[in-house]
Structure 1
Amino acid sequence: MLTTRLTELFGIEHPIVQGGMMFVGRAELAAAVSNAGGLGIITALTQPTPDDLAAEIERCKSLTDRPFGVNLTLTLSINPPPFAEYRRVIIESGVGVVETAGSDPTEHIEHLKEHGITVIHKCTSVAHALKAERIGADAVSIDGFECAGHPGEDDIPGLVLIPATADAISIPFVASGGFADGRGLAAALSLGADGINMGTRFMCTRESPVHDNIKDLIVGASERDTRLIMRQLRNSMRVAKNTVSEEVVEVLQRGGRFRDIKDMVAGIRGRRVFAEGDPELGIWTVGLAQGLIHDVPTAGDVVRRSAEEAERVIEGLGKMIVGESLVTARGSK
């Protein structure tokens, strides 16, 4: 079994975290990941109201007695959600882990930690990770350019971003973006991470609330079938390649503004994609890891086989080192 600072911090068996995905992070999926020894995550803003979130947390508790967390993404908008109310519900529900993401989480981290909650903050750069550490985050999730959703504006892939983060911070961190199996977990650990976060991989599991049509599309897609949109607005987002995302790119390339695409990128349209199974209803997030996904197993199978594969890879690398040493020793005689 792989033991890291992450497994010790969260009280889990395997250093595997389920991404806090909008419209996807619900009780069934989170509980399945946690029951298999990973850390499942409910997405707070998937629930329409704080009361709905309270009910979803209780539903997850009825499905697992293992640790799970709640993602609270701090969006910037004209009419922001009642973040303080969502935070209150999380605290009163007795959730032990919260993943924050988005804009400055200082107020939320301070309040959550006052109530003994472990906080992991999602970052897309070393600078963000350093700030998260400075303001009291217990851990960070570092998202490389390969990730679904918002990869930031620096375009740094995990192969560089993960070891750069390991060199810069002292708190545990999760590598995110491009991970779908045990080979990725072994690689992330070797680069200095304490575990991995998988989003797209968990979208394609039986417990995921995503429509089967979309799961089948992901299984059949390659790593080339995503699109980066809204780059000109410095709000880059990795989504599936479809007619809507192509139109968004074309409009902005012609000098369009956000007002010209806001209806195309509306979140409600992405929710309909996942619920109804028509991939052309709107934009929907998916990562480069889709090129590594070839089936739709249970979430528990993903956790267990990823952990087992990582152990085999690490053991195999150890044997390579021993074998090389033996060859050198024999050759010197």
Structure 2
Amino acid sequence: MSILKTRFTEAFGVEHPIVQGGMQWVGRAELAAAVSEAGGLGLITALTQPTPADLAKEIARARTLTDKPFGVNLTILPTISPPPYDEYRRVIVDEGIRIVETAGSNPEPHMDLFKEHGVKIIHKCTSVRHALKAQRIGVDAVSIDGFECAGHPGEDDIPGLILIPAAADKLTIPFVASGGFGDARGLVAALALGADGINMGSRFMCTVESPIDEAVKKAIVAGDERDTELIFRPLRNTARVAKNSVSTEVVRILNEGGEFADVRELVAGARGKLVYENGDVEAGIWSVGLVQGLINDIPTAGEVVRRIVTEAADLIRGRLAGLVAADPVGVA
């Protein structure tokens, strides 16, 4: 049963205004299905799958775990050898997916096929100006990523407390707030600031169904809000990752005038994948947000969703409602 109705839940046909972030190596069928089964919106990460055919199999696997709506994240990044985006798009459409989260580059070249087949598009943005452009080109919703987020926060360094209401003042389409969210207090705050829901990555990464090694989850629980590192700042391609010996070395090299070639081997995606597979949190670069300072357990994804929406409703009905005087004196 829907406890909190927003423009996002109405437009995307989900019970609760909670979206699971599309995380590389993490957004697999078991996690996406668990989030959706609990009434949120789970996302399979397309490029975690080695080929478009593998993505089709992963979608089919998710459908054995839930009959509720789930989506696919398609991250579009400029690269020397781009993946076959057109084939991944075709699989998404052919498999009957009706919700796509795009991220990275401008989604416009990818939208015609999706729109033709009734696919709703959520585009992840790190600034109000990018969100307004996404709205102009016709996306159905945006996800606003504040500076607190894991992964790429953009180069403006604007935290959610400012970015979310700034977006609310200018957008007319629904939007969800991302970066720094992990509990009911965050959801209530996001709604108060004008968002229609929240997107959570690190919180869902630290759940039973998250397909990463238990040692990584325990590291998130043990970590606090100070235990992240901003890498690639001098290259203006900032990324927030876990603080470890590798990320600290990357920062040192680049701050001393090094170039990407000097850190290429340290930040290789294969090394980061091994962190998740083997649980050696010092093996490479891996993403986590400031919100790890609020993560103290490893529950099921369903428990996360239910706990957040129930506690959020209690906060709104209880503590916040109780702050308003029944008959304010002197208020016109």
Specify the TM-score bucket, using the shorter chain as the normaliser. over 0.9
1:227 match: 229
1:260 match: 262
Amino acid of the structure 1 residue aligned with 2:12: F
Contact 1:36 1:304 in 2 (8 A): yes
Alignment deviations for residues 141-165 of structure 1 (CA, whole Å, 9 cap, x no partner): 0000000000000000000000000
Amino acid of the structure 2 residue aligned with 1:293: I
Percent identical among aligned pairs is 66
Contact 1:110 1:136 in 2 (8 A): no
1:135 match: 137
**Do structure 1's residue 56 and structure 2's residue 75 form an aligned pair?**
no
How far apart are residue 263 of structure 1 and its match?
1.0
1:14 match: 16
**Aligned equivalents of 2:321 and 2:210: distance in 1?**
38
Alignment deviations for residues 260-298 of structure 1 (CA, whole Å, 9 cap, x no partner): 111111111111000000011100000001000000000
Q: TM-score under structure 1 normalisation?
A: 0.97
Unpaired segments ≥5 residues, structure 2: none
Amino acid of the structure 2 residue aligned with 1:163: P
2:102 match: 100
**Do structure 1's residue 216 and structure 2's residue 226 form an aligned pair?**
no
Amino acid of the structure 1 residue aligned with 2:134: A
1:42 match: 44
Alignment deviations for residues 227-250 of structure 1 (CA, whole Å, 9 cap, x no partner): 000000000000000000000000
1:175 match: 177
**Aligned equivalents of 1:73 and 1:312: distance in 2?**
36
**Aligned equivalents of 2:283 and 2:111: distance in 1?**
36
**Aligned equivalents of 2:321 and 2:150: distance in 1?**
35
How far apart are residue 320 of structure 1 and its match?
2.5
**Do structure 1's residue 298 and structure 2's residue 300 form an aligned pair?**
yes
SS of the aligned residue for 1:129 comes to helix
Q: How does 1:248-287 map to 2 (within 5 A)?
A: 248-287=250-289
**Aligned equivalents of 1:296 and 1:2: distance in 2?**
24
**Do structure 1's residue 83 and structure 2's residue 79 form an aligned pair?**
no
Aligned length: 329
1:71 match: 73
Alignment deviations for residues 17-74 of structure 1 (CA, whole Å, 9 cap, x no partner): 0000000000000000000000000000000000000000010011100000000000
How far apart are residue 318 of structure 1 and its match?
4.3
Unpaired segments ≥5 residues, structure 1: none
**Aligned equivalents of 1:217 and 1:33: distance in 2?**
22
**Aligned equivalents of 1:131 and 1:114: distance in 2?**
20
**Aligned equivalents of 2:301 and 2:323: distance in 1?**
34
Q: Which runs of 4+ in 1 moved over 3 A?
A: none
Amino acid of the structure 1 residue aligned with 2:50: P
**Aligned equivalents of 2:111 and 2:310: distance in 1?**
34
Alignment deviations for residues 65-103 of structure 1 (CA, whole Å, 9 cap, x no partner): 000000000011100100000000000000010000001
SS of the aligned residue for 1:133 comes to helix
Q: How does 1:103-252 map to 2 (within 5 A)?
A: 103-252=105-254
**Aligned equivalents of 2:38 and 2:293: distance in 1?**
24
Q: TM-score under structure 2 normalisation?
A: 0.97
SS of the aligned residue for 1:137 comes to coil
Amino acid of the structure 2 residue aligned with 1:270: G
SS of the aligned residue for 1:20 comes to coil
**Aligned equivalents of 1:58 and 1:270: distance in 2?**
27
Alignment deviations for residues 197-245 of structure 1 (CA, whole Å, 9 cap, x no partner): 0000000100001110010010011000000000000000000000000
How far apart are residue 321 of structure 1 and its match?
4.0
**Aligned equivalents of 2:212 and 2:293: distance in 1?**
18
Amino acid of the structure 1 residue aligned with 2:295: I
How far apart are residue 107 of structure 1 and its match?
1.2
2:4 match: 2
How far apart are residue 9 of structure 1 and its match?
1.2
How far apart are residue 299 of structure 1 and its match?
0.2
**Aligned equivalents of 1:250 and 1:80: distance in 2?**
29
**Aligned equivalents of 2:319 and 2:100: distance in 1?**
35
